[in-house]
Amino acid sequence: MKALVINCSPVRTGATAGIVDIICSELRTRYDTKSICIDDYSFSFCKGCRSCHKTAKCVMSDAPVIREIMNEFDLADIIVSVAPSYWADIPGQFKAFIDRVTPWCNTHEPHACLKPGKKGYAVALRTGPNMPECEKIIGSIEHFYGHLEIECSGHLGLTSVEYKTDVEPRRTEIIGFCKGI
């Protein structure tokens, strides 16, 4: 089985990346695991033309980049999205990606489809102690999974994580979460 772990942060080397590294290390013991960072891809914002509602395809010139990422989703059996809080929600780069994935969402017919049977997991982190903010981020990720018909199978909220150095003291908690994947 294959696992895809997504760093949903525009920072490739920060706390989110540290969490992704721990998750990947744990999952590699059981799954063929790949990680990607949303910031490694360049794509424009959705223009809201709704052409994809009629064709299940994006008409924008950078659509192949989105298809490349969605191919990784399609190959995976397990998808873990790890997102930091940016003003109490997911980062803009990840939100822009979600908007561009509309051709695969079950909100209209026709729509492109991923292979069935995928399980999705969400991990949220934030700098302060407010868990409801993590829950909002988890909710955004799980809402996205739902429209892709990915089964929401677990989540983890991590508060008081601002820097990569804040991740190591949470290693046991992260590893415990991974045991359920």
Output the tens digit of pLDDT for each of the chain's 181 residues. 999 999 999 999 999 999 999 999 999 999 999 999 999 999 999 999 999 999 999 999 999 999 999 999 999 999 999 999 999 999 999 999 999 999 999 999 999 999 999 999 999 999 999 999 999 999 999 999 999 999 999 999 999 999 999 999 999 999 999 999 9
| Residue 44 confidence (pLDDT) | 95
Can you give the C-alpha Rg of the chain in angstroms?
16
pTM score of the predicted model: 0.97
Phi, psi of 25 (to 5 degrees): -60, -40
Which residues have C-beta within 8 Å of that of residue 130, sequence separation ≥ 6? Answer: 159
Specify the number of domains making up the chain. Answer: 1
The CATH number for 118's domain is: 3.40.50.360
- What b/e string do you get for 120-151 counting C-beta neighbours within 10 Å, with b at 16 or more? bbbbbbbeeeeeebbebbbbbbbebbeebbbe
Domain residues for 167?
2-179
Spatial distance between the Cα atoms of 149 and 5, rounded to a whole number of angstroms: 18
Query: Which three-class secondary structure state does DSSP give residue 101?
Result: coil
CB-CB contact of 59 with 31 (8 Å): no
